[in-house]
Every structure is written in C-alpha cells, then in structure tokens.
C-alpha cells in the first residue's frame, strides 16, 4: 500500500491551517493567523476568529494545494479538527472539509485537536511509542497517557481553571505588556531573576495532590502576581517587570514539568511528548529537558513552528488513521467544542 495522501484542516481557534502530507512526509503547511486582529482586545474574540476563518479558508487551501503540487482528486482522505475549540471557528473548517469530502468522494476524518498536537511529532521523529504527553497552550494544559495515537489515549489530568497560556496573557496585561503574552513574557524573563519573587505553585500541597495529582491550576498564581504588583505600586516602588516575568514563568514551568515527570513515573513511561503553543517557551523546554535527563526519560518535542495550531498536525493524524484502517467519520458529524481526548475520531 502506498503512503496515504491526506489534506488536513485546522480552525479551532485563531489560526487557519491547511496542510498536505504523504504518509509522514510534510508536503505543504500553510497557516493564516488572525492574532493581530485580537491584539486590541487582549485575547481571542470568538466572533472575530470565526470571520477570519471564513475569509482565510479558501486562499489557504489554494496555497497548500499549489505548494504541494497536488490535484484535489489525488487525495486519499480529508482530515479536519472537529473539537475541542471555539464552536464558530470549528464549524468553518468542518464545513470546508465536508464540502471537499463530498465533492471528491473521499473519506472524512473529524479528528481531536489535542491528539493532533501529539501526532505532529510523527513528522520529525517517526512512530510514537507508548508514552506520557504534556500539552500546554492558551486553552489547554493537559497530561495524557498515550498507548495508540489513533485510538487509545486517556487524560490523566488537566487544568481546573486557567490554562498556562491564558495565565501568560493575563499576567502580560497586568504588567503592561502586549498580547499574546507568551512570547513577550518569555523574552522579558530572560533579563530577569526567576528567584526574585517566590510565587505559589498551584495544586502541589500534600492535600491537593491527593485529589489533583495530575491536574493544574494557574488562577491563583495569576492572582498572586496581581496582588504583588498592586502592593508594589501602592508602596510607590518601581515594579521590576523582568523579575516579575521571570518569577512567574518559573512558577508555571516548575509545576508543569514536575507533574509531567510524575506522570512518566506513574505510567512507567520512558518517553515524554511535549506539544501545544506554550511548548515553544524557552524556559519550559530547557527545564523539561533537564528534568527528563535526570529521570532517564526521553523528551520528544516538535520544532517551535509545529507547536502552535497548524494543519500539519491534523493531516498527519489523519494519515495515521488511514494507515491503521480506522473507520472514517460520517458526513453528518457536527463540531464538538468539548470533544474528550479519548475520542480521537468523531463519529
């Protein structure tokens, strides 16, 4: 059997991604971002994101087909993010995928966005073994147990309030920095002292670990930063922004990495996958590498360009599903904003 030629569409939030893969070879990966349209609001506005997807989906699709030098009739399958994500945004991508699948008489795979973030590593490092996975983004902070990328994944824990990326955005606003918060805080933190301020580590007390061993919470950390900044300003002290950013980032990365290593120990897994937009954070990557090395765990992480939302992660997951002989989705599926990670393919 020849390697499947699959087109993938991603539109769960503020990036319109279309990619084409042949097996695990990436032929095209086109992304149209609407981040700049959300800057003045300080965060993603669902209606703005949906309209941006409507405007971008056809041009992005055309660019991907041209880049890959592929005629649509040559495709073996159409893959698309069916959830989780913003409802209006998901509907745009799913509608486009359904139209293509129906017009070309090709199988449709409505896929899980979170699983796509794990699957994208196939493009760089090949088959994914049984492992633990840490997904960190603006909307998700999750620890997963991965047995089979096409159908056997379970959630060990997740954020119970703010996701890590969301906390970055809120803290960036607190200290007068721009949106999105991740890159600007990461840059400022490199000029600051991560030990200057001891911010709290959420859900790490003995009592919390009894019920939330693999869960995350960053809402309290965000509040602690706000109170520290407010107190400094009331006392007439200059706020050391770089130190605040470095100390905040250290608190986030400390908890993320400590629980990820604990998950590896719990699963007896010798591999940890890292994915999601915040996976591009320099401190998270370096601290996780340090702790994985100490624990004898192999860290697998995609290059930064594949960490953020993109069509490549959906295309390669679709390709794996085709290779594994998984049953495709019916054309009657609807977008599911709360799609659980255990459901890799929506049916």
Q: Which CATH homologous superfamily contains domain 5-120+310-323?
A: ATPase, nucleotide binding domain (3.30.420.40)
Q: What is the pLDDT of residue 54?
A: 95
Q: What does DSSP assign to residue 76?
A: S
Q: What is the pLDDT of residue 138?
A: 78
CB 256 within 8 A of CB 249: no
Nearby residues of 207 by Cβ (< 8 Å), 6 or more positions away: none
* Rg for the chain, CA atoms, rounded: 20
Q: What is the pLDDT of residue 38?
A: 67
**Cα gap 269→296, rounded to integer Å:** 10
Segments making up each domain of the chain, as ranges: 5-120+310-323, 131-302
Q: What is the pLDDT of residue 1?
A: 57
Count of C-beta atoms within a 10 Å radius of residue 334:
12
Residue of 122, 166, 118, 116 whose CA lies nearest to 141: 166
Q: Are strands 131-136 and 271-275 parallel, antiparallel or unpaired?
A: parallel
Residue 43 corresponds to which tokens in the numbers above? 């965060």
Give the residues across from 25 on adjacent strands: 22
Q: Are strands 25-33 and 15-22 parallel, antiparallel or unpaired?
A: antiparallel
CB-facing half-sphere around the CA of 223: CA atoms within 13 A:
8
Residue recorded with tokens 């979170």? 114
CA 314, 18, 183, 124 dihedral sign is positive
**Cα gap 18→81, rounded to integer Å:** 11
Q: Nearest 5°: CA angle at 18, between 323 and 332?
A: 65
pTM for the whole structure: 0.95
Residue 264 corresponds to which tokens in the numbers above? 């590896």
Q: Please report, in angstroms and rounded to a whole number, the separation of the first and last CA atoms in the chain.
A: 25
CB 334 within 8 A of CB 97: no
Mean pLDDT rounded to a whole number for the chain: 95
Q: What is the pLDDT of residue 282?
A: 94
The 10s digit of each residue's pLDDT in 15-61 is 999 999 999 999 999 999 877 786 777 777 878 889 999 999 999 99
Query: Phi, psi at residue 328, to the nearest 5°?
Result: -70, 175
**Cα gap 143→202, rounded to integer Å:** 15
**Cα gap 129→23, rounded to integer Å:** 17
At the top level of CATH, which class does the domain 131-302 belong to? alpha beta
Identify the segments of the chain with pLDDT beneath 50. none
The 10s digit of each residue's pLDDT in 110-165 is 999 999 999 999 999 999 999 999 999 878 899 999 999 999 999 999 999 989 99
> Are 5-120+310-323 and 131-302 in the same CATH fold?
yes
């Amino acid at each position: 059997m020849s390697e499947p030629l699959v087109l993938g569409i991603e539109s769960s939030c503020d990036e319109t991604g279309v990619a084409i893969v042949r097996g695990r070879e990436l032929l095209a990966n086109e992304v149209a971002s609407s981040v700049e349209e959300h800057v003045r609001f300080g965060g993603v506005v669902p209606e703005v994101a949906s309209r941006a997807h409507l405007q971008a989906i056809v041009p992005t699709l055309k660019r991907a087909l041209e880049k890959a030098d592929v005629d649509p009739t040559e495709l073996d399958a159409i893959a698309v993010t069916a959830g989780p994500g913003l409802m209006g945004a998901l509907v745009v991508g799913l509608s486009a995928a359904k139209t293509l699948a129906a017009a070309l008489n090709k199988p449709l795979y409505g896929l899980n966005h979170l699983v796509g973030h794990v699957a994208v590593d196939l493009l760089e490092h090949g088959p994914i073994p049984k492992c633990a996975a840490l997904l960190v983004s603006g909307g998700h902070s999750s620890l997963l147990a991965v047995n089979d990328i096409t159908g056997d994944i379970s959630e060990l824990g997740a954020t119970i309030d703010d996701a890590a990326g969301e906390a970055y955005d809120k803290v960036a606003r607190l200290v007068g920095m721009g949106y999105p918060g991740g890159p600007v805080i990461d840059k400022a933190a490199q000029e600051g002292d991560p030990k200057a301020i001891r911010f709290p580590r959420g859900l790490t007390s003995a009592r919390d670990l009894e019920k939330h061993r693999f869960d995350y919470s960053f809402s309290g950390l965000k509040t602690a930063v706000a109170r520290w900044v407010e107190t400094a300003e009331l006392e007439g002290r200059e706020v050391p922004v770089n130190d605040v950013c470095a100390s905040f980032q250290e608190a986030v990365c400390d908890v993320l990495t400590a629980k990820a290593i604990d998950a590896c120990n719990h699963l007896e897994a010798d591999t940890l996958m890292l994915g999601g937009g915040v996976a591009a954070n320099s401190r998270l990557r370096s601290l996780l590498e340090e702790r994985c090395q100490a624990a004898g765990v192999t860290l697998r992480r995609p290059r930064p360009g594949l960490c953020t939302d993109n069509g490549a992660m959906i295309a390669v997951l679709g390709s794996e599903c085709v290779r594994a002989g998984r049953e495709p989705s019916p054309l009657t599926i609807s977008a599911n904003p709360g799609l659980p990670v255990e459901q890799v393919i929506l049916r």
